[in-house]
Amino acid sequence: MESSQSVGAWRELGSHFGTVVVLAGGVLVGAVNIYLAASLLPTVVADIGGERLYAWNMTVFLVAQVVATVLVNRVLSRRGNIVSYLIGFGVFATGSALCAMSPVMPVLLVGRGAQGFGAGLLTGLGFALIRSVLPRHLWARGSALISAMFGLGNFVGPALGGFFAQFGSWRPAFVVLALASGAMAAFVPRVLSRGSRAEAEAAPVPIGSLLLVVGAAGAVSIAGLLSNQAVMAAFIAVALALIVAFFRTEKCRGRVRVLPHPTYQAGSALRWIYLTMAFLASGVAVETFLPLFSQRLGGLPPVAAGFFGAALSLGWSASQVVSSSARRERTLRWLQVAGPGLLAAGLAVLALLQQRDASLLGAITWLPVLLLGGTGIGLAMPHLSVAAMASTADEQEGEKAAAAIATVLTMSTAFGAALAGLLVNVGGPSMVNSARWLLFGFAAVSALGVPTALRANHLTRSAEVRREDEVEPTAESDAPLD
């Protein structure tokens, strides 16, 4: 007989309204900021200069975000729930205010770094606290709602940024972010408990692992800017070597790790769960170039092209609200495998549809394909998040596994952005070739999530069978003798 999970109703999640608003709102302000800043940057450069440092805006933000997500457990263990959130919102608001006042680009980059650090803390805290502030049967709903904030940010960010850019006033946009962050911070003490982890021992910072991750992402980013193929290949080789060194360093260390200890235990499904999430999340990087392809190849106006760029996130956000209602174990396992397969199929079909001077009807056909690809992310992501949270019975390791979800997603975004630039550069100067290299490349990356999801399901099921076998002899020994 197939087992099923208890899944609470959305109405029940509403009974935790204040808590959910803080958790989801923290993720949302960071997600909105990514796309808002991207849409404002041309206006910013026209005002204060710094075109040569244009690309560093996203790099600085993402690196700071990765570092902050790694520090989430340390901040929680030392400061507790409320103070940790106040630090996150405070740093983000300070960074936003600094961006609003920036007279030159280097000052803006400092503000972007502070924004990234605050956003990383808020994203990590959102996933970390699901496990401790919500009952077990609401984890899937909570994960779906928080993950949906990334997709919602893809709509609100460009809309808000475009509104201010239309009038040439970019500074008020950052002021709005600072005020929104301050308002959320005022809400925190009213809805969150201080938590029981304030007296826990704080884990050291894994500086070596962090440097390897940042170095690998930087090497891929540099490779994407080069035209000499030999030098490009050398930087890619360096990136791969740094990634290998990262995993070896993580595996050999004691408790100073970026990812929790069960990730490296033999027979643990957690590493495969994280890999599947990484392959899914990295696919969103294609959104950066979809508006460009929609305008250059499909002849769409900027407003319509921007919507095409957000279609992947729309499919992601909408589908996971529905997907989070699934409860049968077999269905959950199927969704985790089908998700990356659907994303890979959508990107591959979209690559085949790319052509120069596409007709309006041809361009419109891209939209359902993008929605379908995004649906693949939404089908799998909530259940992968719950699987990561439930991967260990140890309470502390479980909380670390939950917090590490944000680290995995952030690292995947950073590497995905770097890889996207590399693939577009390889396909150039032809726009059609660039589009196909990008889409086929990420279709292949997404497809890797199918075998990793299958492996995660197999190990999870094996662990469940072992636990059942261990319980049965105990039950028999406790039975009364006739």
Looking at residue 69, its pLDDT comes to 82
CB 456 within 8 A of CB 273: yes
Give the least confident one: 91-95, 312-316, 378-382, 469-473: 469-473
Looking at residue 471, its pLDDT comes to 54
CB 248 within 8 A of CB 255: no
pTM: 0.76
**Average of per-residue pLDDT across 398-427:** 78
CB 420 within 8 A of CB 282: no
pLDDT band at residue 10, thresholds of 50, 70 and 90? low
Query: By three-state DSSP, how is residue 328 classified?
Result: strand
Residues 6+ positions from 177 with CB-CB distance below 8 Å: 29, 32, 33, 36, 92, 93, 96, 115
Give the least confident one: 123-137, 193-207, 256-270: 193-207
Q: How far apart are CA 222 and CA 283, in angstroms?
A: 20
Among the ranges 143-157, 323-337, 368-382, which has the highest mean pLDDT value?
Answer: 368-382
Neighbouring C-alpha atoms within 13 Å toward the C-beta of 482: 0
CB 133 within 8 A of CB 21: no
pLDDT digits (tens, 9 = 90+) for 206-230: 777 778 877 877 777 676 666 676 7
Closest CA to 322 of 368, 369, 378: 378
Check residues 193 and 224 and name the one with the higher pLDDT: 193
Does domain 15-199 correspond to CATH entry 1.20.1250.20? yes
Q: How far apart are CA 149 and CA 155, in angstroms?
A: 10
Looking at residue 88, its pLDDT comes to 93
Q: How far apart are CA 441 and CA 224, in angstroms?
A: 14
What is the H or E stretch that residue 335 is in? helix 329-353
Residue 291 has pLDDT above 80, yes or no: no
Looking at residue 263, its pLDDT comes to 80
Give the least confident one: 197-211, 240-254, 344-358: 197-211
Looking at residue 7, its pLDDT comes to 56
Does domain 265-469 correspond to CATH entry 1.20.1250.20? yes
Looking at residue 470, its pLDDT comes to 59
Residue 6 has pLDDT above 60, yes or no: no
Looking at residue 130, its pLDDT comes to 80
**Average of per-residue pLDDT across 319-329:** 77
What letters, b where the CB count within 10 A reaches 16 and e where it falls short, cover 189-205? eebbeebebeeeeeeee
Closest CA to 120 of 92, 151, 98: 92
